[in-house]
Amino acid sequence: MTRKSPLQLLFEAIDQLQDEDELRSQVVPKIGEYFATKRSGIFFFDQLLADRNLQKLLKVALSVEHNPVARYLVERHTPVHEGLVTSPKAWAIICPRPDHWHVMAGPIVNRGQLVGVVGCTRDRSMLAFDTQNLADLSAICLHLSVWTATVRFQQQPFKSDRLTSRELQIAELVALGRTNAEIGREIWITENSVKQALKRMFRKLEVSSRAEMVAQLAATKYDLSTVKNNAILAEK
């Protein structure tokens, strides 16, 4: 029998995952070991938006305005390391942390949307990531994307089904960045009515912020327009 490579064993570990606890405890350490990293992690954007502490990571470390690695990832949906997009001198200014001297990131994609990131870092004393590392990370991200689509999102309850068509219309406008006053003018209700509707929606979805609400809806129902159309049909 042919002996399986470390990469094949990692694929099998991903395919056998049951939930995110196993993802963090079993696969993240294996990724760190495989790439000989200083740090490694897997981040889903809906979790980043729902956690105020993690929001700082989204605004700074994963900011497309400040981080060329993040920008490359968002635009191309393909793994990247800092050497592909900037010089060592520029990277030291962008990310001065000594344990992030070398950074590699790969995409987790669901239905054409970037929903998460696999991140690996090495310190200055370690070798830089290379093209083979990128190729291997690409394969790993493919398996993680399949797992995300078939396990992670399917296990989430579709709480958005609890919203009425009007509430989904409000959620869609919130996702577009509209203020309560702007939403009220657009759908012909008072600003106070929008506030009260949002309170009801937060309770139904068990969230505490507009960002968390939008993230949950986007993660569990593909897109808000689809959810909205389904709700309208159900009410007819």
User: What contacts 184, CB < 8 A, 6 or more positions away?
Assistant: 190, 191, 193, 194
> What is the pTM (predicted TM-score) of this model?
0.65
Residue 72 in 3-state DSSP?
helix
Alpha helices by DSSP H, 128-164: 131-147, 153-155
What is the per-residue burial (b if ≥16 Cβ within 10 Å, else e) of 169-207? bbbbbbbeebebeebbeeeeeeeebbeebbeebeebbeb
Task: Give pLDDT, residue 135.
Answer: 96
- Can you give the pLDDT at residue 161? 58
Per-residue pLDDT of the chain (236 residues; tens, 9 = 90+): 678 899 999 999 999 998 888 999 999 999 999 999 999 999 888 776 666 665 665 565 667 778 899 899 989 999 999 999 999 999 998 888 899 999 999 999 887 788 899 999 999 999 999 999 999 999 999 999 989 888 876 655 555 557 888 888 898 888 888 899 999 999 999 999 999 999 998 888 877 788 777 776 765 553 444 444 443 333 33
The domains located in the chain, with CATH, are: 6-155 (3.30.450.40), 159-235 (1.10.10.10)
Sheet holding 113-122, edge to edge: 39-44, 113-122, 102-110, 80-81
Q: Is the Cα dihedral 119, 17, 145, 163 positive or negative?
A: negative
